[in-house]
Amino acid sequence: MSTPTTPTPGDRPGDDRSSGTDRAPWAAAAGAPSAGTSNTLQPTDTLRPPGAATGSPRPRRRRRSARGGWKHLAAIAACVFALFPLVYALSASLSASGSLLGSNQLFSDVTGANYTNLLTDPQNPYLTWFGNSMFVSVTTAVGTVLMGAAAAYAFSRFRFRSRKGGLLALLVIQMFPQLLAFVAIFLLLFAISEVYPFMGLNSRLGLVAVYLGGALGANTFLMYGFFNTIPKDLDEAASIDGASHAQIYWTMILPLVTPILVVVGMLSFITSFSDFLLAQIVLQDPEQYTLAVGLYQFVAVQFGENWGVFTAGAILAAIPVVAMFLFLQRFIVSGLTGGAVKG
Amino acid sequence: MSTSTTAPGGTAAPGQTRDGDGLGEPLDLRRSHSRGFGLGFVVKLILMALINAFGLYGILAAWAAGSWGILAFLVLALVVADLVYFLPTRRLLPAKYLFPGLIFLLVFQIFVVIYTAATAFTNYGDGHNASKDAAITQLTTTYEQRIEGTDAYPVTVLEGEDGLALATVRDGQVLVGTADQPLTPLDGATAADGRIAEAPGYEVLDYGGVVAVAGELSDLRVPVGEQEAEGVLRTDDGRTAYAYEPTLVHDEAADAMVADDGTVYANNGEGAFVGPDGEALRPGWRVFVGLDNFGAIFDPEVLGGPFVAVTLWTFAFAILSVALTFFLGLLLAILFNDEKLRFRNLYRAIIFLPYAFPGFLSILIWAGLLNTDFGFVNEILLGGTAVPWLDNAWMAKLSVVLVNLWLGFPYMFLVTTGALQAIPGELYESAEMDGAGPVRQFRAITLPMLLVAVGPMLIASFAMNFNNFNVIYLLTGGGPQDLESTTGVGGTDILISFVYKIAFAGGNNDYGLASALSILIFIMVAVISALTFRRSKALEEIS
């Protein structure tokens, strides 16, 4: 923030987050981000340290232990339901048998053999798939954030003739799931292959390009609402001091809207990481597969036989994603309540 | 940020800079001299140079490939890009920020939708892939027979710059021909034992080389001579070739294919030549078929039965998914909304996990868990029973809903937790004073307040589940398959997986029919969205 008019920290709209804790993130529910969008990013109490609410008077304490028992039972039941497939997968990945049937005795015979097989099988280049998935998803996420933010900035800050129409058009386009056009996408990429072989059918760049086609429709509105909460006085002040529009955008606005960029980037990453249909249609060569396509082909061929190795692959693939989710949980929760749906 | 501190007032940011700023501002000599040639401008120049190079390359390639549509688009896009980023007018400022996203939106969202709509009115698919001329060419090469009374040609397969060639020895002279050029003597070529040993300009393929190009070789037709009646050489093994003549000839006057036995295959106007016995020659070609595809979808004789069943199940699946996930999520949210509950945060973190785990992986894991013969659920949890979780149509329906419940309830839990915490406590206090019990409070306060807050998210969730391809395809593959139907439709197929089967998975890839179904799905989703959309506040946003 080198511009002379840099606002003092107290002026930063982001600081709204510290106030108004009684308003919930969902106040900006889907499609209405401006209803206090800055609130969408307030941390929910999910992150509050445990035991924050202790110290209640004694009589109530006794009541709780009497009444709270069933609550714990229900909570534990929910946790078991949530956890058991994942625990099972972890156990199967460590099982010595490697087959579906043999994986049923949880943690009976722990070995790392499945992981070794997974990483050394030349027929199923897991690491290549992993790399492909990362390349596709990271590129898509970065591209989506850059293009979505730029468009949101234009809609939020400039007044031009087709602005309202453009926003409305985006809202309508957003309704059409790109997935539905997969036949046309296949045929289009087939045609592009003749001109740009490196981004046509069976190429990772082609897949990224397809995903980026959905970038504006899905996210601009979410971002637009957030951009609107940044006071325009900031831009005007900076502009009077001689900052160009690009300077304002890159060095002033973008840092202020980081939270929404993180949310959009995350969701875009997850959507492309988990996409199976389009990836399956575009990528045909095992060297180009993403994890979704590769692991599916791998396990679909001989369902029971490859089970141990598949679960090992699933666990390894999930670790970075789950870690990222937990690390950015605060942002995700607010993004969800802003109306995003995980693909 | 750091760049702007080292060069205050310069155009520090990467991307577009330079123009449009500072009009009408007080002149500031301190920084005006650096404007226009800062780091940002250099970055912009480099980026635009790359984009222009990329575009020019594409234009040349499209020219070479004869892809006129792509060529026209590239020329237009490139001109617009250069105008947008180099014209120094303030009016183009918004365009600078919108252009990159718009290009992708235009090509990969809007164009494909329009293309889908256009394809829906054609018979595009296997057997109707290409233009009429291409179909005629393919027919004449497919239907051919050996010319009676001609000799076998011992041949050697060569590879030249223009693709494969055949060489043979006749009267002590080496003759070489390609697809475009009839057999002609080649100077300097040598033969030994009837095989070609050396041919200038060509590489002689050994057995391994022939095997490697077998596919290309079986399509190779080398004219024997300048006269068409002499036939074309064709080899199946790469060692011996025979002269073939077409048995089907295109009669341009009658626009029909005539076989050598006199059978006439007439153009039926629907992209195929059809014989007197109703047999259509394959391949046909692509034609406009009007509403035929839509007719087929609603015709009980063709797709009507499966279509109705699949549509009903799609709605049931989407509604059940949303309702169940919402109620389980809400239940847990109410449960955990008790601040005095110990380990609350631990519970929450655990319930968050199914959400964080990539969906396609957990679905595949569930497919293993629910396996009838070896799955964990049957073997361990149910003590060795054989419940056909995924193999019986109704059980499979139950299974996909259950798995989707597992996948979706954490999301609803998170969302409703946020909503619950935002309901003002005073409401409950006054309700309590008025004598309302917990049930009444829930019905009169919690539920209405909650629905207002999460309503839009329920709609979004419904729309997503309506097209939730992953959970269906990865868990059951749409199966168990309905063996009585020829469409390959299965008990758990929803509309989008049904479309996928029609377009890619079945024996007959019918892109036209699949596109027509896509359009119908879109209309359904759009109507539902539009109905709910009018109530949402999104429109008010646009100001």
Q: Where are the domains of chain B?
A: 29-119, 144-246, 298-542
Best of A95, A114, A195 to disrupt the B interface (most B CBs within 10 Å) is: A195
- A99 at interface of B, judged by CB pairs closer than 8 A: yes
Quick one: pLDDT at residue B31? Answer: 43
Nearest CA in chain A to B64: A195
Least CB–CB distance from B4: residue in A181, A224, A251: A251
Cβ pairs bridging A and B (under 8 Å): 408
Question: Using one digit for the tens of pLDDT, what is the confidence trace for A133-185?
Answer: 999 999 999 999 999 999 999 999 888 888 888 888 887 777 677 878 888 89
With beta carbons less than 8 A apart as the criterion, state whether A207 and A279 touch.
Answer: yes
Interface test with A, best of B35, B348, B364 (most A CBs within 10 A): B364
CB contact under 8 Å between A213 and B500, yes or no, is no
Beta-carbon contacts of residue B228 (< 8 Å; ≥ 6 apart): none
Supply the ipTM of this predicted assembly. Answer: 0.77
- Pair B97, A248: CB distance under 8 Å: no
Shortest CB distance from B340 goes to which of A45, A64, A82? A64
Most B CBs within 10 Å: which of A6, A23, A26, as the mutation test of the B interface?
Answer: A26
Nearest residue in B to A160, CA atom? B94
Phi first, then psi, for residue A249 (nearest 5°) are -65, -50
Whether B157 and chain A come into contact, CB under 8 Å, resolves to: no
Helix (H) or strand (E) holding B274, with range, is strand B273-274
Chain A contact set for B424 (CB, 8 A): 22
B11, B115, B511 ranked by CB distance to A188: nearest: B115
Return the pLDDT at B18.
Answer: 39
The verdict on A151 touching B (C-beta cutoff 8 Å) is yes
Dist CA B80 CA B69 (whole Å) = 17
Chain B contact for A244, CB < 8 A? Answer: yes
| Disruptive mutation site among B113, B340, B351, B509 for chain A (greatest number of A CBs within 10 Å) | B340
Judge contact between B474 and B485, C-beta under 8 A.
Answer: no
Which residues in B lie closer than 8 A to residue A215 (C-beta atoms)? 101, 104-105
Contact list in B for residue A56 (CB cut-off 8 A) is: 340
Report the C-alpha gap between A285 and A301 in whole angstroms.
16
| Residues of chain A positioned with their CB less than 8 A from the CB of B379 | 101, 104
Please state, in angstroms and rounded to a whole number, the distance separating the CA atoms of residues B327 and B4. 52
Min Cα separation B407/chain A (Å): 9
Look at the block and give the residue holding tokens 């010319």. B147
Nearest CA to CA, how far is B187 from chain A (Å)? 36
Q: CB of A101 within 8 Å of any CB in chain B?
A: yes
pTM of the model as a whole: 0.76
pLDDT at B34: 40
Residue B514 touches chain A, beta carbons under 8 Å = yes
Contacts of A325 in chain B (CB under 8 A): 352, 355-356
C-alpha B426 chain-centroid distance = 52
* E strand or H helix at B412: helix B393-421
pLDDT in tens, A79-132: 999 999 999 999 989 988 777 777 777 787 788 888 988 898 888 899 999 999
| CB pair distance less than 8 Å for B414 and A210 | no
Tally Cβ neighbours within 10 Å of residue B452: 12
The two beta strands, B153-160 and B240-246, are antiparallel
Please give the full DSSP string across B308-337, using - where no structure is assigned. Answer: HHHHHHHHHHHHHHHHHHHHHHHHHHHHHT
Closest by CA to A89, choosing from B361, B426, B306, is B361
- Annotation: CATH topology of B298-542: MetI-like fold (1.10.3720)
Question: Which residues 436-455 on chain B approach chain A with CB closer than 8 angstroms?
Answer: 453-455
State the DSSP code for B222: E
* pLDDT of chain B, 543 residues: tens digit per residue: 333 333 333 333 444 333 444 344 444 444 433 445 678 888 999 999 999 999 999 999 999 988 898 999 999 999 999 999 998 888 888 999 999 999 999 999 889 989 988 889 988 887 777 777 777 877 777 777 777 777 788 888 888 877 788 888 877 778 888 888 888 888 877 777 777 778 888 888 888 888 888 777 877 888 888 777 777 888 877 788 888 877 777 777 777 777 777 777 777 777 778 777 777 777 778 888 888 888 888 888 778 788 999 999 999 999 999 999 999 999 999 888 877 788 888 888 888 889 889 999 999 999 989 988 888 888 888 887 888 888 888 999 999 999 999 999 998 998 888 888 888 888 888 888 888 888 888 888 888 888 877 877 888 788 889 989 999 999 998 878 877 777 778 889 999 999 888 888 766 788 888 999 999 998 888 888 777 766 665 555 555
Per-residue pLDDT tens digits for A5-56: 333 333 333 333 333 333 333 333 333 333 333 333 333 333 333 333 444 4
At B336, list the tokens.
Answer: 């955990």
Q: Does A35 touch chain B (CB under 8 A)?
A: yes
Cα separations in angstroms, B73 against A166, B59, B81, B332, B411:
21, 9, 12, 53, 42
Say what percent of chain A tops pLDDT 70: 75
